[in-house]
Amino acid sequence: MVCYKCGCRLSEHDFCTGCGADVSLYKKIMFMSNRFYNDGLEKATVRDLSGAIISLRQSLKFNKNNIDARNLLGLVYFEMGEVVSALGEWVISKNLRPKKNIADDYIDMIQTNQARLDTINQTIKKYNQALLYCYQNSQDLAVIQLKKVLSYNPKYVRAHQLLALLYIVADEWEKAHRELEKCCQIDMNNTTTLRYMKEVEHMLMPEEAVKSASKRKAVRENVVRYQSGNETIIQPVNMKESKGVSTLLNLGLGVVIGVAIACFLILPGQIQNAKADINSELRAVSEQSDAKTATIDELEQKIQKLTDENAAFTVELASYQGTDGTLKATDGLMMAVDAYLRNPDDIEAIATYLEALDEEEETDKTEGSQEKTESFIALYDDFLGLVGERLVDYYYNAGYAAYRADDYETAIPNLTRAYQYDSANGDALYHLANSYRRNGDEDKAKELYAEVIDNFPDTEIANRSETYLAEINNAD
Protein backbone atom coordinates (compact mmCIF):
# COMPACT_ATOMS: atom_id res chain seq x y z
CA MET A 1 0.00 0.00 0.00
CA VAL A 2 1.39 3.42 -0.99
CA CYS A 3 0.64 6.95 0.20
CA TYR A 4 -2.12 8.73 -1.72
CA LYS A 5 -0.10 11.98 -1.66
CA CYS A 6 3.54 11.17 -2.33
CA GLY A 7 3.39 7.51 -3.43
CA CYS A 8 5.76 6.38 -0.68
CA ARG A 9 5.23 2.83 0.64
CA LEU A 10 3.30 2.97 3.94
CA SER A 11 4.49 1.37 7.16
CA GLU A 12 2.54 0.17 10.20
CA HIS A 13 2.24 3.75 11.45
CA ASP A 14 -0.85 5.90 10.93
CA PHE A 15 1.17 8.54 9.12
CA CYS A 16 3.28 8.55 5.97
CA THR A 17 7.00 8.38 6.71
CA GLY A 18 7.68 10.24 3.47
CA CYS A 19 5.39 13.28 3.63
CA GLY A 20 3.85 12.98 7.10
CA ALA A 21 0.24 12.79 5.87
CA ASP A 22 -2.37 11.17 8.14
CA VAL A 23 -3.26 7.85 6.47
CA SER A 24 -5.24 6.15 9.23
CA LEU A 25 -8.62 6.67 7.54
CA TYR A 26 -7.09 5.91 4.14
CA LYS A 27 -5.84 2.54 5.42
CA LYS A 28 -9.28 1.68 6.80
CA ILE A 29 -10.86 2.47 3.44
CA MET A 30 -8.34 0.31 1.57
CA PHE A 31 -8.82 -2.55 4.06
CA MET A 32 -12.60 -2.38 3.65
CA SER A 33 -12.28 -2.41 -0.14
CA ASN A 34 -10.01 -5.48 -0.01
CA ARG A 35 -12.33 -7.17 2.49
CA PHE A 36 -15.36 -6.77 0.21
CA TYR A 37 -13.24 -7.98 -2.73
CA ASN A 38 -12.28 -11.15 -0.84
CA ASP A 39 -15.94 -11.67 0.10
CA GLY A 40 -16.98 -11.28 -3.55
CA LEU A 41 -14.26 -13.71 -4.64
CA GLU A 42 -15.47 -16.33 -2.15
CA LYS A 43 -19.06 -15.94 -3.31
CA ALA A 44 -18.07 -16.18 -6.96
CA THR A 45 -16.20 -19.45 -6.35
CA VAL A 46 -19.41 -21.06 -5.00
CA ARG A 47 -21.53 -19.51 -7.80
CA ASP A 48 -23.30 -16.98 -5.62
CA LEU A 49 -22.91 -14.48 -8.46
CA SER A 50 -25.59 -12.05 -7.27
CA GLY A 51 -23.95 -11.84 -3.85
CA ALA A 52 -20.54 -11.46 -5.50
CA ILE A 53 -21.81 -8.49 -7.54
CA ILE A 54 -23.06 -6.76 -4.38
CA SER A 55 -19.74 -7.27 -2.56
CA LEU A 56 -17.61 -6.22 -5.54
CA ARG A 57 -19.67 -3.08 -6.11
CA GLN A 58 -19.23 -2.22 -2.44
CA SER A 59 -15.48 -2.78 -2.81
CA LEU A 60 -15.39 -0.34 -5.74
CA LYS A 61 -17.34 2.23 -3.73
CA PHE A 62 -14.49 2.28 -1.23
CA ASN A 63 -11.75 2.16 -3.87
CA LYS A 64 -12.63 2.72 -7.52
CA ASN A 65 -9.00 1.92 -8.47
CA ASN A 66 -9.25 -1.66 -7.17
CA ILE A 67 -8.37 -3.27 -10.51
CA ASP A 68 -8.76 -6.85 -9.28
CA ALA A 69 -12.28 -6.16 -8.00
CA ARG A 70 -13.30 -4.44 -11.25
CA ASN A 71 -11.92 -7.22 -13.45
CA LEU A 72 -13.64 -9.87 -11.31
CA LEU A 73 -16.90 -7.92 -11.49
CA GLY A 74 -16.61 -7.97 -15.29
CA LEU A 75 -16.06 -11.74 -15.23
CA VAL A 76 -19.13 -12.24 -13.03
CA TYR A 77 -21.23 -10.13 -15.41
CA PHE A 78 -19.87 -12.12 -18.37
CA GLU A 79 -20.73 -15.43 -16.66
CA MET A 80 -24.32 -14.21 -16.15
CA GLY A 81 -24.59 -13.29 -19.85
CA GLU A 82 -24.33 -9.51 -19.25
CA VAL A 83 -21.62 -8.99 -21.88
CA VAL A 84 -22.16 -5.23 -22.25
CA SER A 85 -21.82 -4.64 -18.50
CA ALA A 86 -18.70 -6.83 -18.45
CA LEU A 87 -17.10 -4.86 -21.30
CA GLY A 88 -17.91 -1.62 -19.49
CA GLU A 89 -16.05 -2.72 -16.36
CA TRP A 90 -13.05 -3.97 -18.36
CA VAL A 91 -12.80 -0.76 -20.38
CA ILE A 92 -12.78 1.30 -17.16
CA SER A 93 -10.14 -1.05 -15.74
CA LYS A 94 -7.98 -0.65 -18.85
CA ASN A 95 -8.23 3.14 -18.65
CA LEU A 96 -7.19 3.07 -15.00
CA ARG A 97 -4.24 0.74 -15.71
CA PRO A 98 -3.30 0.73 -19.42
CA LYS A 99 -0.38 -1.70 -19.06
CA LYS A 100 -0.06 -5.15 -17.47
CA ASN A 101 -3.81 -5.49 -17.13
CA ILE A 102 -5.57 -8.79 -17.85
CA ALA A 103 -8.66 -6.79 -18.85
CA ASP A 104 -6.87 -6.10 -22.14
CA ASP A 105 -6.94 -9.84 -22.92
CA TYR A 106 -10.64 -10.06 -22.02
CA ILE A 107 -11.49 -7.16 -24.34
CA ASP A 108 -9.32 -8.56 -27.12
CA MET A 109 -10.99 -11.97 -26.74
CA ILE A 110 -14.36 -10.40 -27.58
CA GLN A 111 -13.54 -7.58 -29.99
CA THR A 112 -11.23 -9.55 -32.27
CA ASN A 113 -13.90 -12.19 -32.87
CA GLN A 114 -16.41 -10.67 -35.28
CA ALA A 115 -18.72 -13.67 -35.02
CA ARG A 116 -18.92 -13.28 -31.24
CA LEU A 117 -19.66 -9.54 -31.59
CA ASP A 118 -22.46 -10.29 -34.05
CA THR A 119 -23.86 -12.88 -31.63
CA ILE A 120 -23.81 -10.35 -28.77
CA ASN A 121 -25.63 -7.77 -30.91
CA GLN A 122 -28.26 -10.30 -31.97
CA THR A 123 -28.75 -11.36 -28.34
CA ILE A 124 -29.39 -7.78 -27.21
CA LYS A 125 -31.75 -7.02 -30.10
CA LYS A 126 -33.82 -10.18 -29.65
CA TYR A 127 -34.03 -9.77 -25.86
CA ASN A 128 -35.29 -6.20 -26.30
CA GLN A 129 -37.77 -7.44 -28.91
CA ALA A 130 -38.99 -10.08 -26.44
CA LEU A 131 -39.55 -7.37 -23.82
CA LEU A 132 -41.52 -5.36 -26.38
CA TYR A 133 -43.69 -8.40 -27.14
CA CYS A 134 -44.33 -8.81 -23.41
CA TYR A 135 -45.48 -5.20 -23.16
CA GLN A 136 -47.75 -5.81 -26.16
CA ASN A 137 -49.20 -8.93 -24.45
CA SER A 138 -47.79 -11.23 -27.16
CA GLN A 139 -46.38 -13.89 -24.87
CA ASP A 140 -46.03 -16.56 -27.59
CA LEU A 141 -43.81 -14.34 -29.73
CA ALA A 142 -41.82 -13.34 -26.66
CA VAL A 143 -41.18 -17.02 -25.85
CA ILE A 144 -39.90 -17.63 -29.40
CA GLN A 145 -37.55 -14.65 -29.20
CA LEU A 146 -36.22 -15.68 -25.78
CA LYS A 147 -35.50 -19.20 -27.01
CA LYS A 148 -33.43 -17.68 -29.83
CA VAL A 149 -31.64 -15.46 -27.29
CA LEU A 150 -30.75 -18.49 -25.16
CA SER A 151 -29.54 -20.40 -28.21
CA TYR A 152 -27.04 -17.56 -28.77
CA ASN A 153 -26.18 -17.06 -25.07
CA PRO A 154 -27.21 -20.03 -22.85
CA LYS A 155 -25.91 -18.29 -19.69
CA TYR A 156 -28.07 -15.17 -19.99
CA VAL A 157 -29.76 -15.29 -16.56
CA ARG A 158 -32.25 -12.50 -17.22
CA ALA A 159 -33.48 -14.26 -20.37
CA HIS A 160 -33.97 -17.51 -18.42
CA GLN A 161 -35.89 -15.63 -15.72
CA LEU A 162 -38.14 -13.84 -18.21
CA LEU A 163 -38.84 -17.09 -20.07
CA ALA A 164 -39.69 -18.81 -16.76
CA LEU A 165 -42.04 -15.94 -15.88
CA LEU A 166 -43.83 -16.32 -19.23
CA TYR A 167 -44.20 -20.06 -18.58
CA ILE A 168 -45.63 -19.25 -15.14
CA VAL A 169 -48.18 -16.89 -16.69
CA ALA A 170 -49.12 -19.66 -19.14
CA ASP A 171 -49.40 -22.22 -16.26
CA GLU A 172 -46.61 -24.32 -17.78
CA TRP A 173 -45.05 -25.09 -14.42
CA GLU A 174 -42.71 -27.89 -15.49
CA LYS A 175 -41.09 -25.75 -18.19
CA ALA A 176 -40.78 -22.85 -15.77
CA HIS A 177 -39.12 -25.16 -13.23
CA ARG A 178 -36.56 -26.31 -15.83
CA GLU A 179 -35.64 -22.74 -16.75
CA LEU A 180 -35.27 -21.75 -13.10
CA GLU A 181 -33.04 -24.76 -12.47
CA LYS A 182 -30.79 -23.54 -15.28
CA CYS A 183 -30.69 -20.12 -13.57
CA CYS A 184 -29.67 -21.77 -10.28
CA GLN A 185 -26.87 -23.64 -12.03
CA ILE A 186 -25.46 -20.29 -13.18
CA ASP A 187 -26.33 -18.13 -10.14
CA MET A 188 -27.44 -20.21 -7.17
CA ASN A 189 -28.52 -17.34 -4.89
CA ASN A 190 -30.37 -14.95 -7.20
CA THR A 191 -33.29 -13.42 -5.32
CA THR A 192 -35.59 -13.22 -8.35
CA THR A 193 -34.87 -16.84 -9.30
CA LEU A 194 -35.55 -18.08 -5.77
CA ARG A 195 -38.82 -16.13 -5.56
CA TYR A 196 -40.05 -17.62 -8.85
CA MET A 197 -38.88 -21.09 -7.79
CA LYS A 198 -40.89 -20.86 -4.56
CA GLU A 199 -44.09 -20.13 -6.49
CA VAL A 200 -43.44 -22.88 -9.03
CA GLU A 201 -42.71 -25.50 -6.37
CA HIS A 202 -45.85 -24.42 -4.51
CA MET A 203 -47.92 -25.21 -7.63
CA LEU A 204 -46.06 -28.41 -8.51
CA MET A 205 -46.33 -29.83 -4.96
CA PRO A 206 -49.58 -28.47 -3.46
CA GLU A 207 -49.71 -31.23 -0.83
CA GLU A 208 -46.53 -29.86 0.72
CA ALA A 209 -48.10 -26.41 0.89
CA VAL A 210 -51.14 -27.87 2.65
CA LYS A 211 -48.94 -29.66 5.19
CA SER A 212 -46.97 -26.51 5.97
CA ALA A 213 -50.19 -24.53 6.35
CA SER A 214 -51.62 -27.14 8.74
CA LYS A 215 -48.60 -26.71 11.01
CA ARG A 216 -49.33 -23.00 11.36
CA LYS A 217 -53.10 -23.38 11.84
CA ALA A 218 -55.06 -26.34 13.20
CA VAL A 219 -57.65 -27.89 10.94
CA ARG A 220 -61.17 -27.15 12.05
CA GLU A 221 -63.34 -30.15 12.92
CA ASN A 222 -66.45 -28.86 11.23
CA VAL A 223 -65.03 -28.88 7.69
CA VAL A 224 -63.66 -31.49 5.30
CA ARG A 225 -60.68 -30.64 3.03
CA TYR A 226 -59.63 -32.60 -0.03
CA GLN A 227 -57.47 -31.99 -3.10
CA SER A 228 -58.88 -31.77 -6.64
CA GLY A 229 -56.15 -31.16 -9.19
CA ASN A 230 -54.41 -27.91 -8.26
CA GLU A 231 -57.25 -26.76 -5.99
CA THR A 232 -58.05 -27.49 -2.34
CA ILE A 233 -61.79 -28.05 -1.78
CA ILE A 234 -63.26 -27.10 1.63
CA GLN A 235 -66.66 -28.65 2.37
CA PRO A 236 -68.70 -28.37 5.60
CA VAL A 237 -69.38 -31.74 7.28
CA ASN A 238 -73.10 -31.22 7.74
CA MET A 239 -73.74 -29.95 4.22
CA LYS A 240 -76.39 -31.94 2.38
CA GLU A 241 -75.93 -32.30 -1.31
CA SER A 242 -78.93 -31.53 -3.43
CA LYS A 243 -80.32 -34.54 -5.21
CA GLY A 244 -82.83 -35.34 -7.88
CA VAL A 245 -84.13 -32.88 -10.46
CA SER A 246 -82.43 -29.81 -8.94
CA THR A 247 -79.03 -31.48 -9.24
CA LEU A 248 -79.57 -32.29 -12.90
CA LEU A 249 -80.82 -28.78 -13.58
CA ASN A 250 -77.79 -27.24 -11.94
CA LEU A 251 -75.49 -29.55 -13.87
CA GLY A 252 -77.17 -28.77 -17.18
CA LEU A 253 -77.14 -25.04 -16.45
CA GLY A 254 -73.41 -25.20 -15.69
CA VAL A 255 -72.71 -27.01 -18.95
CA VAL A 256 -74.71 -24.44 -20.94
CA ILE A 257 -72.95 -21.52 -19.26
CA GLY A 258 -69.53 -23.11 -19.86
CA VAL A 259 -70.25 -23.69 -23.55
CA ALA A 260 -71.54 -20.14 -23.93
CA ILE A 261 -68.44 -18.69 -22.31
CA ALA A 262 -66.19 -20.78 -24.54
CA CYS A 263 -68.08 -19.77 -27.70
CA PHE A 264 -68.43 -16.06 -27.03
CA LEU A 265 -65.28 -15.23 -25.05
CA ILE A 266 -62.49 -17.76 -25.42
CA LEU A 267 -62.96 -19.25 -28.89
CA PRO A 268 -62.93 -15.96 -30.93
CA GLY A 269 -59.69 -14.85 -29.31
CA GLN A 270 -58.02 -18.19 -29.99
CA ILE A 271 -59.20 -18.16 -33.60
CA GLN A 272 -57.88 -14.63 -34.08
CA ASN A 273 -54.50 -15.55 -32.58
CA ALA A 274 -54.30 -18.65 -34.76
CA LYS A 275 -55.07 -16.60 -37.89
CA ALA A 276 -52.45 -14.02 -36.97
CA ASP A 277 -49.82 -16.73 -36.42
CA ILE A 278 -50.68 -18.44 -39.72
CA ASN A 279 -50.53 -15.14 -41.64
CA SER A 280 -47.19 -14.28 -40.06
CA GLU A 281 -45.74 -17.67 -40.94
CA LEU A 282 -47.08 -17.42 -44.50
CA ARG A 283 -45.45 -14.01 -44.96
CA ALA A 284 -42.16 -15.30 -43.61
CA VAL A 285 -42.25 -18.39 -45.85
CA SER A 286 -43.18 -16.26 -48.87
CA GLU A 287 -40.32 -13.84 -48.25
CA GLN A 288 -37.85 -16.68 -47.83
CA SER A 289 -39.12 -18.35 -51.00
CA ASP A 290 -38.78 -15.13 -53.02
CA ALA A 291 -35.27 -14.55 -51.70
CA LYS A 292 -34.20 -18.12 -52.45
CA THR A 293 -35.72 -17.95 -55.95
CA ALA A 294 -33.85 -14.73 -56.70
CA THR A 295 -30.62 -16.21 -55.35
CA ILE A 296 -31.03 -19.38 -57.42
CA ASP A 297 -31.69 -17.36 -60.60
CA GLU A 298 -28.65 -15.19 -59.95
CA LEU A 299 -26.42 -18.20 -59.30
CA GLU A 300 -27.72 -19.99 -62.39
CA GLN A 301 -26.89 -16.92 -64.50
CA LYS A 302 -23.40 -16.74 -63.03
CA ILE A 303 -22.87 -20.47 -63.57
CA GLN A 304 -24.05 -20.18 -67.18
CA LYS A 305 -21.73 -17.20 -67.68
CA LEU A 306 -18.79 -19.11 -66.22
CA THR A 307 -19.66 -22.16 -68.31
CA ASP A 308 -19.70 -20.07 -71.50
CA GLU A 309 -16.44 -18.36 -70.56
CA ASN A 310 -14.95 -21.74 -69.71
CA ALA A 311 -15.88 -23.11 -73.13
CA ALA A 312 -14.50 -20.03 -74.88
CA PHE A 313 -11.33 -20.15 -72.86
CA THR A 314 -10.92 -23.86 -73.62
CA VAL A 315 -11.00 -23.05 -77.35
CA GLU A 316 -8.52 -20.23 -76.88
CA LEU A 317 -6.35 -22.49 -74.74
CA ALA A 318 -6.13 -25.04 -77.55
CA SER A 319 -4.94 -22.33 -79.94
CA TYR A 320 -2.27 -21.05 -77.56
CA GLN A 321 -1.08 -24.44 -76.26
CA GLY A 322 2.68 -24.95 -76.61
CA THR A 323 4.68 -27.87 -77.87
CA ASP A 324 4.82 -29.54 -74.48
CA GLY A 325 1.02 -29.70 -74.41
CA THR A 326 0.51 -27.75 -71.16
CA LEU A 327 -0.21 -24.24 -69.94
CA LYS A 328 0.25 -24.50 -66.22
CA ALA A 329 -1.31 -21.22 -65.10
CA THR A 330 -4.35 -21.70 -67.32
CA ASP A 331 -4.73 -25.29 -66.15
CA GLY A 332 -4.69 -24.15 -62.54
CA LEU A 333 -7.47 -21.65 -63.14
CA MET A 334 -9.47 -24.16 -65.17
CA MET A 335 -9.18 -26.74 -62.40
CA ALA A 336 -10.34 -24.17 -59.84
CA VAL A 337 -13.36 -23.27 -61.99
CA ASP A 338 -14.10 -26.96 -62.56
CA ALA A 339 -13.97 -27.59 -58.80
CA TYR A 340 -16.44 -24.73 -58.28
CA LEU A 341 -18.83 -26.07 -60.94
CA ARG A 342 -18.73 -29.53 -59.40
CA ASN A 343 -19.23 -28.34 -55.81
CA PRO A 344 -19.46 -24.58 -55.09
CA ASP A 345 -19.12 -25.26 -51.33
CA ASP A 346 -15.75 -27.07 -51.64
CA ILE A 347 -13.79 -23.87 -50.94
CA GLU A 348 -10.75 -25.84 -49.75
CA ALA A 349 -10.24 -27.46 -53.17
CA ILE A 350 -10.76 -24.12 -54.93
CA ALA A 351 -8.21 -22.48 -52.62
CA THR A 352 -5.69 -25.26 -53.31
CA TYR A 353 -5.87 -24.76 -57.08
CA LEU A 354 -5.61 -20.97 -56.76
CA GLU A 355 -2.57 -21.36 -54.49
CA ALA A 356 -0.91 -23.47 -57.15
CA LEU A 357 -1.85 -20.79 -59.69
CA ASP A 358 -0.23 -18.08 -57.54
CA GLU A 359 2.97 -20.15 -57.19
CA GLU A 360 3.13 -20.65 -60.96
CA GLU A 361 2.66 -16.92 -61.56
CA GLU A 362 5.59 -16.21 -59.24
CA THR A 363 7.66 -18.71 -61.23
CA ASP A 364 6.58 -17.09 -64.51
CA LYS A 365 7.63 -13.66 -63.24
CA THR A 366 11.05 -15.05 -62.29
CA GLU A 367 11.55 -16.77 -65.66
CA GLY A 368 10.16 -13.82 -67.64
CA SER A 369 7.26 -15.71 -69.22
CA GLN A 370 4.57 -14.06 -71.30
CA GLU A 371 1.83 -12.05 -69.62
CA LYS A 372 -1.63 -13.56 -69.33
CA THR A 373 -4.22 -12.93 -72.03
CA GLU A 374 -7.19 -10.62 -71.56
CA SER A 375 -9.55 -13.61 -71.57
CA PHE A 376 -7.54 -15.24 -68.78
CA ILE A 377 -7.61 -12.05 -66.69
CA ALA A 378 -11.36 -11.54 -67.27
CA LEU A 379 -12.16 -15.12 -66.25
CA TYR A 380 -9.89 -14.84 -63.20
CA ASP A 381 -11.56 -11.58 -62.07
CA ASP A 382 -15.08 -12.96 -62.58
CA PHE A 383 -14.20 -16.11 -60.69
CA LEU A 384 -12.78 -14.13 -57.77
CA GLY A 385 -16.00 -12.13 -57.72
CA LEU A 386 -17.84 -15.37 -57.02
CA VAL A 387 -15.55 -17.00 -54.47
CA GLY A 388 -13.42 -14.12 -53.19
CA GLU A 389 -15.43 -13.45 -50.04
CA ARG A 390 -15.45 -17.12 -49.00
CA LEU A 391 -11.72 -17.38 -49.80
CA VAL A 392 -11.09 -14.46 -47.44
CA ASP A 393 -13.09 -16.14 -44.66
CA TYR A 394 -11.35 -19.49 -45.29
CA TYR A 395 -7.80 -18.07 -45.16
CA TYR A 396 -8.55 -15.68 -42.29
CA ASN A 397 -10.09 -18.39 -40.10
CA ALA A 398 -7.23 -20.79 -40.84
CA GLY A 399 -4.61 -18.10 -40.25
CA TYR A 400 -6.19 -16.80 -37.07
CA ALA A 401 -6.54 -20.34 -35.65
CA ALA A 402 -2.86 -21.00 -36.37
CA TYR A 403 -1.94 -17.62 -34.85
CA ARG A 404 -3.84 -18.46 -31.67
CA ALA A 405 -2.04 -21.82 -31.56
CA ASP A 406 1.39 -20.07 -31.94
CA ASP A 407 1.89 -21.79 -35.32
CA TYR A 408 3.20 -18.70 -37.10
CA GLU A 409 4.69 -20.59 -40.05
CA THR A 410 1.14 -21.62 -40.97
CA ALA A 411 -0.51 -18.37 -39.92
CA ILE A 412 1.68 -16.08 -42.08
CA PRO A 413 0.80 -17.47 -45.57
CA ASN A 414 -2.90 -17.84 -44.72
CA LEU A 415 -3.24 -14.32 -43.31
CA THR A 416 -1.22 -12.98 -46.27
CA ARG A 417 -3.71 -14.50 -48.72
CA ALA A 418 -6.67 -13.26 -46.67
CA TYR A 419 -5.36 -9.68 -46.92
CA GLN A 420 -4.38 -10.21 -50.57
CA TYR A 421 -7.98 -11.07 -51.48
CA ASP A 422 -9.51 -8.33 -49.27
CA SER A 423 -7.34 -5.28 -48.64
CA ALA A 424 -10.05 -3.86 -46.33
CA ASN A 425 -9.56 -6.69 -43.83
CA GLY A 426 -7.62 -4.80 -41.16
CA ASP A 427 -7.76 -7.68 -38.69
CA ALA A 428 -5.94 -9.97 -41.13
CA LEU A 429 -3.16 -7.39 -41.66
CA TYR A 430 -2.86 -6.75 -37.90
CA HIS A 431 -2.59 -10.44 -37.00
CA LEU A 432 -0.14 -10.94 -39.89
CA ALA A 433 2.09 -8.24 -38.39
CA ASN A 434 1.80 -9.90 -34.97
CA SER A 435 2.75 -13.26 -36.52
CA TYR A 436 5.91 -11.81 -38.09
CA ARG A 437 6.83 -10.11 -34.81
CA ARG A 438 6.37 -13.25 -32.75
CA ASN A 439 8.19 -15.28 -35.39
CA GLY A 440 11.26 -13.05 -35.02
CA ASP A 441 10.95 -11.05 -38.28
CA GLU A 442 10.71 -7.59 -36.70
CA ASP A 443 11.56 -5.70 -39.92
CA LYS A 444 8.59 -7.19 -41.74
CA ALA A 445 6.44 -6.63 -38.65
CA LYS A 446 7.41 -2.93 -38.56
CA GLU A 447 6.47 -2.58 -42.22
CA LEU A 448 3.06 -4.17 -41.68
CA TYR A 449 2.34 -2.23 -38.47
CA ALA A 450 3.04 0.99 -40.38
CA GLU A 451 0.63 -0.17 -43.09
CA VAL A 452 -2.07 -0.83 -40.47
CA ILE A 453 -1.58 2.68 -39.04
CA ASP A 454 -1.77 4.27 -42.52
CA ASN A 455 -4.69 2.27 -43.90
CA PHE A 456 -6.83 1.97 -40.76
CA PRO A 457 -6.33 5.17 -38.75
CA ASP A 458 -8.26 5.90 -35.55
CA THR A 459 -9.03 2.22 -34.91
CA GLU A 460 -8.19 -0.14 -32.07
CA ILE A 461 -5.81 -2.16 -34.23
CA ALA A 462 -4.04 1.06 -35.30
CA ASN A 463 -3.53 2.06 -31.67
CA ARG A 464 -2.14 -1.36 -30.83
CA SER A 465 0.09 -1.27 -33.88
CA GLU A 466 1.54 2.05 -32.72
CA THR A 467 2.27 0.51 -29.32
CA TYR A 468 4.02 -2.55 -30.78
CA LEU A 469 5.91 -0.40 -33.30
CA ALA A 470 7.16 1.81 -30.49
CA GLU A 471 8.26 -1.26 -28.50
CA ILE A 472 10.23 -2.61 -31.47
CA ASN A 473 11.88 0.76 -32.12
CA ASN A 474 12.79 1.17 -28.45
CA ALA A 475 14.26 -2.34 -28.39
CA ASP A 476 16.41 -1.43 -31.41
* Count of domains for the chain: 3
**More confidently predicted of 170 and 214:** 170
**Do 77 and 126 share a domain, yes or no?**
no
End-to-end CA distance of the chain: 35
**Do 321 and 413 share a domain, yes or no?**
yes
**Do 130 and 99 share a domain, yes or no?**
no
Dist. CA 138–CA 133, nearest whole Å: 5
Which of 112, 143, 167 is the last residue before a domain boundary?
A: 112
**Do 36 and 90 share a domain, yes or no?**
yes
**Do 99 and 190 share a domain, yes or no?**
no
Q: Are 391 and 347 in contact (CB under 8 A)?
A: yes
What pTM was estimated for this model as a whole? Answer: 0.43
Q: What is the pLDDT of residue 216?
A: 47
Q: What is the pLDDT of residue 476?
A: 65
Which of 206, 237, 263 is the last residue before a domain boundary?
A: 206
Q: Tell me if 318 is assigned to some domain.
A: yes
How confident is residue 360, by pLDDT bands cut at 50, 70 and 90? low
What does the pLDDT average to over 410-417?
89
**Do 316 and 334 share a domain, yes or no?**
yes
**Do 67 and 145 share a domain, yes or no?**
no
Dist. CA 470–CA 317, nearest whole Å: 52
Which of 206, 222, 255 is the last residue before a domain boundary?
A: 206
Q: 172: domain CATH number?
A: 1.25.40.10
**More confidently predicted of 196 and 222:** 196
Q: Tell me if 260 is assigned to some domain.
A: no
**Do 171 and 48 share a domain, yes or no?**
no
**Do 396 and 356 share a domain, yes or no?**
yes
Beta bridge partners of 226: 233
Q: Tell me if 217 is assigned to some domain.
A: no
**Cβ-based neighbour number of residue 152 at 10 Å:** 18
In degrees, rounded to 5, the angle at the alpha carbon of residue 379 between the alpha carbons of residues 374 and 380 is: 95
Question: 338 is in which domain, residue-wise?
Answer: 306-475
Q: What is the CA radius of gyration of the chain?
A: 35
Q: Tell me if 277 is assigned to some domain.
A: no
Encode pLDDT of 140-164 as tens digits.
899 999 999 999 889 899 999 999 9
Dist. CA 282–CA 11, nearest whole Å: 75
Q: Tell me if 219 is assigned to some domain.
A: no
* Most confident stretch, 140-149, 261-270, 319-328, 340-349: 140-149
- The packing angle between helices 267-320 and 374-404, to 10°, is 120
Q: Tell me if 78 is assigned to some domain.
A: yes
Q: Look up residue 476 and give its amino acid.
A: D
* Alpha-carbon distances, residue 473 vs 99, 408, 442 (angstroms): 18, 22, 10
What does the pLDDT average to over 336-362?
76
Q: Residue 333: which of 358, 312, 308, 370 has the closest Cα?
A: 358
Dist. CA 416–CA 451, nearest whole Å: 13
**Do 51 and 170 share a domain, yes or no?**
no
Q: What is the pLDDT of residue 435?
A: 92
Q: Tell me if 77 is assigned to some domain.
A: yes
**Do 386 and 441 share a domain, yes or no?**
yes
Q: What is the pLDDT of residue 285?
A: 82
**Do 318 and 446 share a domain, yes or no?**
yes
